[in-house]
C-alpha cells in the first residue's frame, strides 16, 4: 500500500540536456546534480532546487563518472571529478558558484590518467585534504 501511495504522488520534471544522459552524482552541497552526456562529451549541471539546467560543460571523450568524486582543490575550491571511457584524462569541474564564482561550472584542471580510460572515479573516505 505504501508503494502505491508513493507512486501516486510522484512528480516528473523534464529538463533539456544533451544526448544520452547516462550517469552522475551530486556536488558536495547535494544541490547540483552533475550528469554525463556521454555521446555529446559534456557534463550537464542540473540545479535540483530550481529544476533547471545550469550549464553544459565540454569535457573529454565519453565522460563516465559513475557518481563522480567531490573534493576541495587547494587552488580552485570545491570540485567534482569525472573520468572518461574514450581517454585517460580526468576532468575537474568547479562547483562553488558562491565562494569560487570564477571557477564554477567549468573545467578548472585536466589530469593525465593511466591507460585508455576509466569507468568510475571516487575519493577515499579517510583521505586528507
The count of structural domains within the chain is 1
Give pLDDT tens digits for 75-97: 999 999 999 998 999 999 999 99
pLDDT-derived band of residue 16, with 50, 70 and 90 as boundaries?
confident
* CATH number of the domain encompassing residue 43: 2.130.10.10
The residue with greater pLDDT, 31 or 9, is 31
Q: How far apart are CA 24 and CA 72, in angstroms?
A: 18
How much of the chain, in percent, has pLDDT values that exceed 70? 93
For residue 32, is it within any domain?
yes
For residue 125, is it within any domain?
no
For residue 67, is it within any domain?
yes
* Structural domain for 20, as ranges: 2-112
For residue 118, is it within any domain?
no
Q: What pLDDT, on the 0 to 100 scale, is given for residue 15? A: 82
As given in the structure block, the three cell numbers for residue 118 are: 576509466
Give pLDDT tens digits for 56-73: 999 999 999 889 999 999
Amino acid at each position: 500500500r505504501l508503494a502505491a501511495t508513493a507512486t501516486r504522488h510522484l512528480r516528473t520534471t523534464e529538463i533539456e540536456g544533451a544526448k544520452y544522459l547516462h550517469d552522475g552524482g551530486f556536488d558536495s552541497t547535494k544541490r547540483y546534480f552533475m550528469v554525463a552526456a556521454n555521446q555529446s562529451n559534456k557534463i550537464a549541471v542540473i540545479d535540483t532546487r530550481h529544476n533547471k539546467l545550469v550549464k553544459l560543460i565540454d569535457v573529454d571523450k565519453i565522460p563516465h563518472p559513475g557518481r563522480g568524486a567531490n573534493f576541495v582543490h587547494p587552488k580552485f575550491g570545491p570540485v567534482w571529478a569525472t573520468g572518461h571511457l574514450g581517454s585517460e584524462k580526468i576532468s575537474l569541474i568547479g562547483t562553488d558558484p558562491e565562494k569560487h564564482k570564477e571557477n564554477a561550472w567549468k573545467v578548472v584542471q585536466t589530469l593525465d590518467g593511466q591507460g585508455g580510460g576509466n569507468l568510475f572515479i571516487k575519493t577515499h573516505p579517510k583521505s586528507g585534504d
